[in-house]
Amino acid sequence: MTKTELIRDVIRYLRQFRGSTVVIHLDDALLDSPLFAGHMQDLGLLSEAGIRIVIVPGAKLCISRVLETYHVPWRFVQGMRITDGGGMDLIKMAAFDVSDRVMSRLAAERLHGVVGNWVSARGMGVVDGTDFGSAGKITRIDKTSLERVIDDGFLPILPCVGWTAVGRAYNLSSVDLAVETARVLHASKLFFLEDGLVLRADELRAPESAVISQDNRIASIPLDDVEPFLADNGLAQVLDSGTAADGGREDVRYTAKNARTAFLLRKCREACLGGVTRAHILNGAEDGAVPGEIFSETGSGTMIFRSDYSRFRTMTAADVPAVLSLMHPFIQSGILLPRSEEEVKGQAPWFTVYEIDGGIRACAELKPYPGCNCAEIAAVAVDDSCANSGIGPALMRRLIAKARGDGRAFVFVLTTQTADWFERFGFRAAGPERLPEERVRRMDPARGSRILILPLDRDGGNPAPDSLTEKN
């Protein structure tokens, strides 16, 4: 992707998300990271750009340190910390200390953070014979007061503590608090900024619907595929504690990393089901992780989405400039033939494009030749940012299926540099006598194009590769 295209993407995303609310859950392990100041600066820049920022800092490590210092025992049950009655004052101290550190860092960036009490809670009580003591559940978030603070230009910071009507404090799951805050505020995005957590396609089996980035990161997973993804990777029974729901066994799947991955993916899914448009798991060990996720299509982390984030559709006249821009590098390298704006516009009904968040990232033409009952696949282009993501093969499968559904006897391509790629779909070399006379007349002998043909059977049994491994 060129510098110009990157700038266009940033402008497009700024227009899309200006005025929207983004909730950030901050892993407290990042407080001591050299990148912590940079993350806070990024949040400030986003706020100045008109994005409404809410911060929910985790305090798990800090609370553990304080309890250890004062020799207060605790244990985790179902992901909740249980202490005796005397531990709550220490938990409050640690949780508010974390929030104060975030606020101080924002102040250093000339930003106005504010720590507030917007959360009502009740005790979890006794569940299945276990007294959860100071552990609580969220009963209400004061949306009106919280939005008033945001409208006044402040960045709210929500500690993982909630209060009852009589002022009794309870320890809350900061992750649950982030999910509920995002839901109540109808957030466009919920970010889990984690310390070093990356979902990689060479470590986990990604679903076919996932988008894979060029660095082999799982960039996005549709909401409906989260549970199948966990099951396919043996993580369906993994809990946040790193054990299995059936009692657990010694297994590489039950590592702390996999447990956290499964836990956060389910929380992302929960947030999306609750109305949040998109939820993201980001690597806080990467500088610029938050703006990198917001202002680029494959982002910097893993996104769970319920909206029409990406789709194939028929090209419209409004798409022509973007399609010409997409095709330009392939024309320069000689892979594609030049086409004028009027020519592409006139062929719009035959073009299929792949759109990500309003940006055109792939295109191809399926041109019918009724006289010989065949169709030509041409102008196949996939943006470099989507290479190795499976978009190219998905586009080809779509065109082949369309031609088969239209009753075509075969499809053909003319290519100079990408014959190997088309052969993976079952295309084989043929002579010009197989082509429509109209197409033969337009061939340029000096170009030396190879003719490849794919006969179309009725049962759809033509082979197709699973992933895109080169430009097409």
3-class secondary structure, 34: coil
pLDDT confidence bin for 128, thresholds 50/70/90: confident
Q: Are 467 and 208 in contact (CB under 8 A)?
A: no
**471 has pLDDT over 80:** no
Residue 117: closest CA among 160, 152, 77:
160
Average pLDDT over residues 339-353: 93
Say how far residue 365 (Cα) sits from the centre of its chain.
Answer: 28
The number of residues in the chain equals 472
Q: Are 315 and 395 in contact (CB under 8 A)?
A: no
- CB hemisphere CA count around 85 (13 angstroms): 2
pLDDT confidence bin for 300, thresholds 50/70/90: confident
21-26 and 52-57: which strand pairing? parallel
Q: What is the pLDDT of residue 256?
A: 78
- Give the number of other Cβ atoms within 10 Å of residue 268's Cβ: 26
**11 has pLDDT over 60:** yes
**317 has pLDDT over 50:** yes
Q: Are 16 and 357 in contact (CB under 8 A)?
A: yes
Percent of the chain with pLDDT over 70: 88
Please give the C-alpha separations between residue 178 and each of 58, 160, 197, 270, 275, in angstroms, as whole numbers: 9, 9, 18, 11, 13
**245 has pLDDT over 50:** no
Average pLDDT over residues 154-173: 94
| Alpha-carbon span 271 to 141, nearest angstrom | 15
Q: What is the pLDDT of residue 470?
A: 29
- Residue 346's H or E segment, with its range, is helix 341-346
DSSP secondary structure string, 270-288?
HHHHTT-SEEEEEETTSTT
Average pLDDT over residues 151-178: 94
Q: What is the pLDDT of residue 402?
A: 94
Q: Who contacts 52 (Cβ-Cβ below 8 Å, separation ≥6)?
A: 19, 20, 21, 22, 150
Q: What is the pLDDT of residue 171?
A: 94
Average pLDDT over residues 387-411: 89
| Alpha-carbon span 403 to 384, nearest angstrom | 27
Please report the sign of the dihedral spanned by the C-alpha atoms of residue 427, residue 429, residue 435, residue 439.
positive
Residue 327: closest CA among 281, 282, 370, 360:
360
Please give the C-alpha separations between residue 449 and each of 418, 430, 439, in angstroms, as whole numbers: 10, 11, 12
Q: What is the pLDDT of residue 283?
A: 94
Say how far residue 119 (Cα) sits from the centre of its chain.
Answer: 29
Average pLDDT over residues 20-48: 93
| Alpha-carbon span 198 to 210, nearest angstrom | 15
| Alpha-carbon span 407 to 12, nearest angstrom | 40
Taking only the tens place, the pLDDT of each residue in 197-240 is 999 999 999 998 888 888 899 999 998 899 999 999 988 876 55
Q: What is the pLDDT of residue 76?
A: 85
| Alpha-carbon span 83 to 74, nearest angstrom | 5
Burial zone of 8 (CB within 10 Å; 0-12 exposed, 13-18 middle, 19+ buried): middle
| Alpha-carbon span 353 to 244, nearest angstrom | 43
pLDDT: which is higher, 91 or 388? 91
**174 has pLDDT over 50:** yes
Q: What is the pLDDT of residue 182?
A: 95
**Which two structure tokens, joined as six digits, stand for 111?**
């930003």
Taking only the tens place, the pLDDT of each residue in 134-144 is 899 999 999 99
| Alpha-carbon span 156 to 142, nearest angstrom | 12
pLDDT confidence bin for 86, thresholds 50/70/90: low
Q: What is the pLDDT of residue 389?
A: 65
Say how far residue 380 (Cα) sits from the centre of its chain.
Answer: 25
Q: What is the pLDDT of residue 319?
A: 92
**251 has pLDDT over 60:** no
Q: What is the pLDDT of residue 367?
A: 95
Taking only the tens place, the pLDDT of each residue in 421-468 is 999 999 999 999 999 999 999 998 888 999 999 999 755 554 444 333
Q: What is the pLDDT of residue 472?
A: 30
> In 27-97, which ranges are E strands?
52-57, 74-77, 80-83
Residue 300: closest CA among 391, 215, 204, 175:
215
pLDDT: which is higher, 199 or 45? 199
Mean pLDDT of the chain: 87
| Alpha-carbon span 280 to 179, nearest angstrom | 12
Tokens 């041409």 appear where? 378
**Which two structure tokens, joined as six digits, stand for 464?**
């197709």
Q: What is the pLDDT of residue 235?
A: 86
Taking only the tens place, the pLDDT of each residue in 92-115 is 999 999 999 999 999 988 889 999
Q: What is the pLDDT of residue 307?
A: 57
